[in-house]
Structure 1
Amino acid sequence: MSKAYVLVVDDEPDIRDLVREILEDEGYSVATAESAEVARQRLQEHRPDLVLLDIWMPGEDGISLLKEWTSTGALGFPVVMISGHGTVETAVEATRQGATDFVEKPLSMGKLLVTVDQALQPSATTSAGRPAMIEPVGRSPQMRALRETAQRVATSDSWVLISGESGSGRKCLARYLHGLSPRAGGTLVELGAGALTGGAGTEQLFSEAEGGTLILDEVADLDSEAQARLAAAIEANKQDVRMMATTARDLEGEVAAGRCRSDLYYALGVVPMQVPPLREHVEDVPELVAFYVDRLVERDGLNYRHFTVAAQNRLRHYQWPGNVRELCNLVQRLLVLGEQVEIDVNEVEQALSTPSSTGGAAETWPPPIGLDLPLREAREQFERAYLQQQLQRANGSVARLARLAGMERTHLYRKLRALGIDPKDASETAATGERG
């Protein structure tokens, strides 16, 4: 099953080329446009499944183009807005005009790929373009209690502060609360804390979410100036808005340390909710694995694979520092890289550990490094040898290499270029080996 056709609209050629290269490596079909005018031409040539649209472009801006598509009925595809100078106003205006998400420059390619995946999910949005309500998965006492609490909290208009470790599913819970609430038919505005930094205004923050819900992600990342402006906006707010804030930090501890305003903390934390880390409800791992397998097979067209009982048991006894996000990524990596229908405990063990050698190359590992070299040069030698060997293991796929090396895609591409490594060389070598 081929992946979707994505149109990238951005006036910066370096960004267009980098995004196109990474998306194509993921299997997407990609076209690019450097202006609104060219984007219209591309739209006539081939209707995209998703558009990544820059806001600030010479001539006609992205918001105006989005408005045009909305007003003419041409907007039959999700649009993710991109901006290097995002403000609350532009973010909420993009959402109001039909954009499904908003990402900021400099782009984090890991974040961008997740956003692209989410935007393309048929089950990710409702017919009105709002994120779907996905119930937290698990039958453990912790997850049953979380769902029961959510069902009670959802019926009120109280503001909610959702805490939990990174990757535990805090934003998913916020969307779940909104979907259960009487406001489910209203506007859902989601903003990262970064949209409020750098002097961005807050005047439209509440008016755009009138009658609905405002989700502010990673509120602890707000700088002192943004905290002051948000606290003032909350004090002056007369709109009918329910706010939910998420944080990976102990906000009460941040207050005690002087890094968070107490008035902001008390305003946001009327009803505190805590998402448990996965290591505290590992009995849910088999159910979560089944959920992610079904979702990835249906959404991404990956081949179905079955985890043996021994494999599931090994996953239950892992500590999961990255929580459910780490589990989801692991399941995806196993579906992508494996060939057999059955996933046994040895394959899981290998995926959980950091590989030190691959196949017939074991005798050349670790690579010889001159100890008389400066540290920087010695490190470069090791990194070059490590990445070349991992590229061989990934058959030249940078997507697989990123998963194996545990690196964010943008940093990985820069590292490969700095070390003079061409992924195509590894791909050709692997293909030659297969033919030989």
Structure 2
Amino acid sequence: MLRTSLKANDFLVAESAAMRAVANLVERYADGGAPVVICGEHGTGRELVARVLHQRGPRGKGRFVAVRPTFEDVPHATPSDDACERARLALRAAAGGTLLVKDVSDLSASSQRTLKRAIRAGTEDVQVVAAGDLDLERAVDAAIVSRDFYDLFAPRRIVVPPLRDRLEDLPILFERWIKHYAAEIGRTKPTISTRTHERLALYPWPGNVGELKSIARRLVVRVTRARIEAGDVDEILPIVATRVPLEELAFEEMVKSKLSGLLARIDGYPVHDLHEKVIARVERPLFDLVLAHTGGNQLKAAEILGLNRNTLRKRLADLGMDQTKDKKPKGAKPSRSAGRDVRVLDGE
């Protein structure tokens, strides 16, 4: 959450194309009128965007009230007030300004109805802004959020990108938060090395800008020198395993990766023929591909595989792939034993 003493505009950095698109939508919707929904992952700055929307519109001198979906933090609400009454109090508290409802997917059905009636009737002089995650449409499909309620916001939808998709903004954001936290504790802003910025750009930022703020605050407190170095960042950034695409793994590494998952799934189960089952699972697609390559010619397939033709024929029969046995009437069921082997290896 952005402190009310800070200027939201200072932290809406839009060097990246993704954030310039957000800034353009903010300008378009900052008329103080129809409802707006702001979607994005947690930590992306949805409330910041809502504050900028408020400040740049005709309601900028009015109140900006941000409430949780339970409305328990509404000014003047009492424990005896039900959800509908708290929603009404929230609308009145934001009269002349903007009401931000966070995590709108968690709104109760009665609160949704109260807000829907107020928006449609126009009885409250307030712009309602909702914030939610990227699965908001799924919440509508699951009837968690009313379709009628969501449709009031859907025409004005702003999607805030995750920090990993707007890395051009990262250096400026980091510099500004370092400056802010340094001023908070009364110290001179430390400079930041180029390698520090490079290290920050390599991190995937699962917590988005919220995590970046936390890292900046910790660095200002921990690093007493006049310069923040890459090593300082390494000490506090979480270690994230690098994911290698499966197609880039060596064949042996790929097989090992698959088998490690298999061994974890069968741990505790009585399995005594693992070697046979694994070999069968490798041979089956191999034989399929080679036979397809040879147009079903087993003699040529045996030559490619380096097997005796009779050996190949026996293995095909053992695997239920013998072409003479594959010609079954439509609707014939596969053998029960073959299906059982597949299910065991698939973890069922």
TM-score over 0.5 (shorter chain): yes
For the pair 1:140 / 2:16, whether they are aligned, the reply is yes
- Superposed CA RMSD in Å reads 2.5
CA deviation after TM superposition for structure 1 residue 275, in Å: 0.6
For the pair 1:347 / 2:223, whether they are aligned, the reply is no
In the alignment, the residues of structure 1 paired with residue 110 and residue 125 of structure 2 have an alpha-carbon distance, to the nearest angstrom, of: 25
Q: 1:204 aligns with which of 89, 100, 103?
A: 89
Q: 1:179 aligns with which of 35, 55, 73?
A: 55
Q: TM-score, normalised by structure 2?
A: 0.60
Question: For structure 2, which runs of at least 5 residues remain unmatched after alignment?
Answer: 74-80, 240-348
Q: 2:140 aligns with which of 241, 251, 255?
A: 255
Please say if residues 161 and 269 of structure 1, whose CA atoms lie closer than 8 Å, have aligned partners that are also in contact.
yes
In the alignment, the residues of structure 2 paired with residue 158 and residue 234 of structure 1 have an alpha-carbon distance, to the nearest angstrom, of: 8
Question: For structure 1, which runs of at least 5 residues remain unmatched after alignment?
Answer: 1-113, 125-131, 355-436
Partner of residue 212, structure 2: 327
In the alignment, the residues of structure 1 paired with residue 237 and residue 122 of structure 2 have an alpha-carbon distance, to the nearest angstrom, of: 48
Matches within 5 A, 1:28-47: none
Please say if residues 183 and 189 of structure 2, whose CA atoms lie closer than 8 Å, have aligned partners that are also in contact.
no
Q: 1:309 aligns with which of 166, 184, 194?
A: 194
Give the paired residue count.
231
Please say if residues 135 and 176 of structure 1, whose CA atoms lie closer than 8 Å, have aligned partners that are also in contact.
no
In the alignment, the residues of structure 2 paired with residue 332 and residue 156 of structure 1 have an alpha-carbon distance, to the nearest angstrom, of: 34
Partner of residue 108, structure 2: 223
In the alignment, the residues of structure 1 paired with residue 38 and residue 160 of structure 2 have an alpha-carbon distance, to the nearest angstrom, of: 7
Partner of residue 167, structure 1: 43
Q: Please give the secondary structure, in 1, of the residue aligned with 2:88.
A: coil
Matches within 5 A, 1:180-195: 180-195=56-71
Partner of residue 155, structure 1: 31
Q: TM-score, normalised by structure 1?
A: 0.49
Letter of the aligned partner of 1:350 in structure 2? E
CA deviation after TM superposition for structure 1 residue 297, in Å: 1.6
- Choose 273-282 or 187-196, whichever is displaced more: 187-196
Larger relative contact order (C-alpha < 8 A, sep ≥ 6)? 2
Please say if residues 213 and 242 of structure 1, whose CA atoms lie closer than 8 Å, have aligned partners that are also in contact.
yes
Please say if residues 170 and 201 of structure 2, whose CA atoms lie closer than 8 Å, have aligned partners that are also in contact.
yes
Please say if residues 188 and 209 of structure 1, whose CA atoms lie closer than 8 Å, have aligned partners that are also in contact.
yes
CA deviation after TM superposition for structure 1 residue 140, in Å: 1.1
Q: 2:158 aligns with which of 261, 268, 273?
A: 273
In the alignment, the residues of structure 2 paired with residue 340 and residue 196 of structure 1 have an alpha-carbon distance, to the nearest angstrom, of: 44
Assess, with a 3 A threshold, how the Cα gap between structure 1 residues 222 and 325 changes in structure 2: closer, same or farther. same
Q: Please give the secondary structure, in 2, of the residue aligned with 1:205.
A: helix
In the alignment, the residues of structure 2 paired with residue 192 and residue 324 of structure 1 have an alpha-carbon distance, to the nearest angstrom, of: 20
Q: Please give the secondary structure, in 2, of the residue aligned with 1:184.
A: coil
Please say if residues 32 and 59 of structure 2, whose CA atoms lie closer than 8 Å, have aligned partners that are also in contact.
no
Matches within 5 A, 1:279-290: 279-290=164-175
Larger radius of gyration: 2
CA deviation after TM superposition for structure 1 residue 282, in Å: 1.1
Identity %: 32
CA deviation after TM superposition for structure 1 residue 300, in Å: 3.2
